[in-house]
Amino acid sequence: MVVVPLSKPQQNSESTLEGHGRTTWMTLLAAGTLAASGALLATGKRKAGLVTAAAGTTLALLNEPETVKKWWNALPGYIGEAQSLLGRAQGALEDVCAQREKMHKVLGK
């Protein structure tokens, strides 16, 4: 029988949680909060689940500042598009109302 010694793998400081620092803990905290919110929503505790989901989302966004910056910079464009869409919908609705009035006058006689 031959005994082969097993060597322990060297622990790299980057592979431990301490090596990642705040990012790993923020990620774990955000994931745990979102999981807890899902459990609360599944058990019927709607208000608590929504508050917990908002907190988890906030934590996740705080962990990704570049993404938040991109979204914030893109927000005025989305608001402009929504405003344009609402303006077109309002114009279409006014046209429909005008046509309705014309039909009402024609059929009312």
Please check whether residues 44 and 78 belong to one and the same domain: no
Please check whether residues 32 and 55 belong to one and the same domain: yes
Please check whether residues 57 and 80 belong to one and the same domain: no
Q: Answer yes or no: is 53 within a domain.
A: yes
| 107 in Cβ contact with 101 (< 8 Å) | no
Please check whether residues 41 and 30 belong to one and the same domain: yes
Instruction: Give average pLDDT by consecutive 10-residue segment, the chain, 109 residues.
Output: 54 48 77 93 94 91 87 92 96 94 86
For residue 91, what are the domain limits? 65-109
Closest CA to 34 of 1, 9, 59, 56: 56
Q: Answer yes or no: is 9 within a domain.
A: no
Q: What is the pLDDT of residue 20?
A: 47
Please check whether residues 57 and 89 belong to one and the same domain: no
Please check whether residues 55 and 82 belong to one and the same domain: no
Please check whether residues 55 and 77 belong to one and the same domain: no
Q: What is the pLDDT of residue 16?
A: 46
- Counting the structural domains of the chain, the total is 2
Please check whether residues 69 and 90 belong to one and the same domain: yes
Q: What is the pLDDT of residue 89?
A: 96
Helix axes 46-62, 65-108, angle to 10 degrees: 130
